[in-house]
């Protein structure tokens, strides 16, 4: 069954003769069209913190899988712990140091 051949009343879209794409059909039927395209503004340092914590957790997990290779295990564990430590620092820094570069001081 092709999605483009669905003739349900919910997927008909606008009444004009223009052919709508699949995503445009969803945009016309949503109550608040901004729900489909909203973005969240996150400070760069907090994003780096999330990224560091996620990468660190992944490296620690990979290090745990290499138990039979001690050098690889220790290297991945150390890199993961350092990445998580940096991620924690980058995440918390805007809340601790108010005058740090990259921290917005305006209200």
In tens, the pLDDT along 41-77 reads: 667 788 889 999 999 999 999 999 998 999 999 999 9
pLDDT tens for each residue of 6-23:
555 555 554 556 677 877
Task: Please indicate, yes or no, whether residues 59 and 15 belong to a single structural domain of this protein.
Answer: no
Q: Provide the 3-class DSSP secondary structure of residue 12.
A: coil
Task: Please indicate, yes or no, whether residues 48 and 17 belong to a single structural domain of this protein.
Answer: no
Is this model's pTM higher than 0.85 or not? no
User: Is there a domain that residue 103 lies in?
Assistant: no
More confident residue, 44 or 31: 44
Domain of 54? Answer: 44-96
Task: Please indicate, yes or no, whether residues 91 and 54 belong to a single structural domain of this protein.
Answer: yes
User: Is there a domain that residue 102 lies in?
Assistant: no
pLDDT at 105 over 70: no
* pLDDT at site 2: 58
Answer for the pair 94, 46: CB distance below 8 angstroms, yes or no. Answer: yes
């Amino acid at each position: 069954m092709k999605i483009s051949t669905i003739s349900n009343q919910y997927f008909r879209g606008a009444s004009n003769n223009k052919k709508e794409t699949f995503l445009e059909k969803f945009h016309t039927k949503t109550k608040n069209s901004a729900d489909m395209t909203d973005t969240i503004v996150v400070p760069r340092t907090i994003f780096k913190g999330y990224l560091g914590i996620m990468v660190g957790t992944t490296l620690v997990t990979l290090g745990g899988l290499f138990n039979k290779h001690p050098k690889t295990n220790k290297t991945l564990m150390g890199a993961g712990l350092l990445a998580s430590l940096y991620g924690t620092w980058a995440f918390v820094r805007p809340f601790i140091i108010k005058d740090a570069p990259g921290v917005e001081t305006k209200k």
